[in-house]
Structure 1
């Protein structure tokens, strides 16, 4: 890397000291208000997630006597602390100590004399340097002092470091303000989508449409043609109550026909009272439900459609012979990432896979019941899925699957809250069967689905624009940081003491403190 005149490229170990943390006995944890704070990896994350460069208050503190009992030496004020092992190392987070502090053995600190290195200069440099790249190859990534000591560090003149930090933080502050506004807009869009779904299933989204339909049906007939101003398709006056009654009648008729076919296939005479064995779908308990718009009715999901769990009987489920065929195999992750329709499915079943599963038709609504509770998508192709997914098919064509899917989105948080608090959340088929759904007339279901599709598409486009802007902000942040440590952020001042002089003074001070210790690291390369 070409550096400006007056800068030098050194190893971090040439200007910084490093100190690993200590084991933190359980019996000493959880004590607040004592002399010395004791920081853990979670404290680094807490500061990071609060957009703070410095550690916040911690629940873990030790007295000087307790620190001495575990032979723990505090790191000085203005130490940059980072994780040195595991997934936390990959997160690349940092925090600065505001007072002399203890750190636990999953962390490490680096610190330099204030007259040589501005702590904020060191902190910002550390954020564009991925320490996990230096991690040792093992199951759990980790770094040692020797791994980070040899990382190349662009040492600027001390006065210029201060100017760089001031300019850098001013630019990042402006950028962060813009990012904060974008994130607020994201939250508002999420709330807006939920309000649209709520308005849709409560009837307020189509209140004007209903009024127009009511007025059209009452419009005078044209004496010449015998027609009114309302289209014949729009003139249907079947209410939600009438639709539900028709669904329930057709369900029973279908079941009876199926039973009679079974008796006939077995050459049996239907036994007395066989119709009484019909499994009536669960009816809704409407005692505490709000009033619906005129023409709507409360029903349960099992009344308006057929629900059943997917199948994947073979164990182990990942047996290779089950996969690689022509039959799409949907998993919960596919549903979570789908946008209404699900057709691009990576995993496939073979003939053997299909034999131990079930192929659901296009138009089936998939509902996740494990891990990601109540997420939904509609199949646009025939597909199989496991028993962690429930399939729903409308009982009659006049139930809009798009309307039902939008309703399920509005009910997703309720379903998730009803899931038992276990290692992996899940709900059963019975909960879905009893789920209460408002049923408008068919025409209004279709109108609701059409309106929501347009409104949610517009919201989705806004979301994509925000995501793009956030990605641009992240890239811009990195560009600003790179410019800072390439000497491109502020002009150089020829009157500044060169970094080479600063480095020699630092080495002399170190040699005076430890005269028997040889200077470490490669010879610094000064920019010409």
Structure 2
């Protein structure tokens, strides 16, 4: 780009500028549009700067809206008069120049009152003839260019170089057209926002459907009609009796360790189950195993195996993108190796995510699990997919949370507490029908969610397309009667002085 040519003198669309502009527009630089003001942070140690403050003090955390008015933090007039803080006029454009958020976005807002800034922000107060919202909208459109061309190297926190930002090419329209563009953008973005809000509500509806479907599945409501037409030969009670008898036979033959005795399940406060269903304990219908603890001596050895941890187990999904290894002896491998149908649950998590579960479906051998996970292995002929539905319902119903023990903000679900949680047992035929119906419903919901996500992405792309049209001069019609932007710039250059921002002064600030 030819930075030596005065913008107001260079013809629109000539070599070096990003794109050709319509008649009446001209290219200039952001730094030519107004007066710049930096931020400052009054000393926190000086209470007179902060106690009962009335002047809004803007920091990056406040830059989430398009319009900045009141703020959580306020400083006193004494702070403005006796610190590095400066007043920023109404209708100034605020920009975050130093923050981790600059990795992916460039927060910009317009003030609707006099404010002050912290040291990570900078303000541009446009001269007469420049619409501040027009400037802010363009900076939103040019976010990618700002982050790529104006980023400062060599700092630990992402930052924007002021001098590079001031050299950012800016397409200036005649002032009346600036207003028309801003009004049209506001109208279009309002429509898009309403659409995005409707999509967000639809997603909430899907989440509600998701939870309701899981609840209906494990309470028998989902298969109410099916039960009227299909009377199972074997009930849930028969299934539990069969499991108990087979376990006892295997224990007597030494093929299985003797299960630890548990207190009989008290069903007094439990909801009534459909006919043919039975209540049991988790320990009655499967084996529970806590994973192997990590230790330095296991970091290397002759029997290294991949193992899963909390970071790998999501609801109904296991992520194998980041799997670590540790040494498992042959005996340990026999205990901790995963087999298809095993269900893994988060043993340690934030309370609301405790017990998040997924099934290991792979036939690949040698994968184990860490002690931040519990493994549940259903006893045949119990349907493992049905068991997973029960645990997913318990996650959303906060059932696991009620059994948790919290240490340093992390909730834990011990194998003992998990083993004694109630478990509904339908007849085998009904378990299979529940799985079929639920998987069909969840798959339909997943397809709908993909469609909604696609529409949200389309809305974001539409947003950028509208901005592109606005600043290429095709969003609203041009009016030949409008004073050309180049004339406005020429007037600004010829003015004997330009407005400055008052640094101090109580009365002066109020008048602004």
- For 1:496 and 1:109, the matched residues in 2 are separated by 28
2:375 pairs with 1:375 = no
2:195 aligns with one of 166, 178, 187: 178
SS at structure 1 position matched to 2:253: helix
Instruction: Describe how 1:462-477 pairs up with structure 2 within 5 A.
Output: 462-477=448-463
Please give the per-residue CA displacement for 1:344-382, whole angstroms capped at 9, x wherever unaligned.
734567795786763211111121223453222211214
Q: CA RMSD in A?
A: 3.0
Identify the residue that residue 124 of structure 1 maps to in structure 2: 137
Please give the per-residue CA displacement for 1:81-103, whole angstroms capped at 9, x wherever unaligned.
23222323333233322110012
Query: Structure 1: any 5+ residue segments left out of the alignment?
Result: 48-52, 215-234, 263-276, 515-528
Identify the residue that residue 36 of structure 1 maps to in structure 2: 55
Identify the residue that residue 249 of structure 1 maps to in structure 2: 245
1:393 aligns with one of 374, 377, 390: 377
CA contact (8 A) 1:330 1:347 kept: no
SS at structure 2 position matched to 1:188: helix
CA contact (8 A) 1:302 1:433 kept: yes
**Deviation of residue 30 (structure 1)?**
11
**Deviation of residue 34 (structure 1)?**
4.7
SS at structure 2 position matched to 1:75: coil
Please give the per-residue CA displacement for 1:246-287, whole angstroms capped at 9, x wherever unaligned.
32333333334337x99xxxxxxxxxxxxxx75124643433
Identify the residue that residue 147 of structure 1 maps to in structure 2: 164
Query: Compared with structure 1, are the counterparts of its residues 117 and 255 closer, same or farther at alpha carbon in structure 2 (3 Å cutoff)?
Result: farther
- For 1:402 and 1:93, the matched residues in 2 are separated by 46
Identify the residue that residue 403 of structure 1 maps to in structure 2: 386
- For 2:381 and 2:56, the matched residues in 1 are separated by 66
CA contact (8 A) 1:32 1:60 kept: no
CA contact (8 A) 1:282 1:300 kept: no
SS at structure 1 position matched to 2:67: coil
**Deviation of residue 402 (structure 1)?**
0.8
Q: Count matched residues.
A: 464
- For 2:299 and 2:457, the matched residues in 1 are separated by 36
Identify the residue that residue 335 of structure 1 maps to in structure 2: 313
Q: TM-score scaled by structure 1? A: 0.80
1:191 aligns with one of 182, 205, 208: 208
2:341 pairs with 1:363 = yes
**Deviation of residue 403 (structure 1)?**
0.8
Please give the per-residue CA displacement for 1:389-411, whole angstroms capped at 9, x wherever unaligned.
2211102x221111111111111
Please give the per-residue CA displacement for 1:438-488, whole angstroms capped at 9, x wherever unaligned.
221222111111110111111111111111111111111111111111111
Please give the per-residue CA displacement for 1:30-81, whole angstroms capped at 9, x wherever unaligned.
9797531112222223x3xxxxx21253332233223323342111112222
**Deviation of residue 428 (structure 1)?**
3.0
Query: Compared with structure 1, are the counterparts of its residues 210 and 132 closer, same or farther at alpha carbon in structure 2 (3 Å cutoff)?
Result: same
Greater Cα shift, 358-367 or 15-24: 15-24
- For 1:444 and 1:189, the matched residues in 2 are separated by 25
**Deviation of residue 21 (structure 1)?**
1.8
2:282 pairs with 1:301 = yes
1:203 aligns with one of 216, 220, 227: 220
Identify the residue that residue 240 of structure 1 maps to in structure 2: 236
2:324 pairs with 1:345 = no
Query: Compared with structure 1, are the counterparts of its residues 155 and 317 closer, same or farther at alpha carbon in structure 2 (3 Å cutoff)?
Result: farther
SS at structure 1 position matched to 2:344: strand
SS at structure 1 position matched to 2:450: helix
SS at structure 2 position matched to 1:141: coil
2:30 aligns with one of 2, 12, 17: 12
- For 1:154 and 1:479, the matched residues in 2 are separated by 16
- For 1:77 and 1:317, the matched residues in 2 are separated by 63
Query: Compared with structure 1, are the counterparts of its residues 416 and 26 closer, same or farther at alpha carbon in structure 2 (3 Å cutoff)?
Result: farther
CA contact (8 A) 1:10 1:154 kept: yes
Query: Compared with structure 1, are the counterparts of its residues 389 and 8 closer, same or farther at alpha carbon in structure 2 (3 Å cutoff)?
Result: same
Greater Cα shift, 77-86 or 426-435: 426-435
Query: Compared with structure 1, are the counterparts of its residues 512 and 360 closer, same or farther at alpha carbon in structure 2 (3 Å cutoff)?
Result: closer
Query: Compared with structure 1, are the counterparts of its residues 351 and 311 closer, same or farther at alpha carbon in structure 2 (3 Å cutoff)?
Result: closer
Query: Compared with structure 1, are the counterparts of its residues 86 and 512 closer, same or farther at alpha carbon in structure 2 (3 Å cutoff)?
Result: closer
- For 2:188 and 2:165, the matched residues in 1 are separated by 28
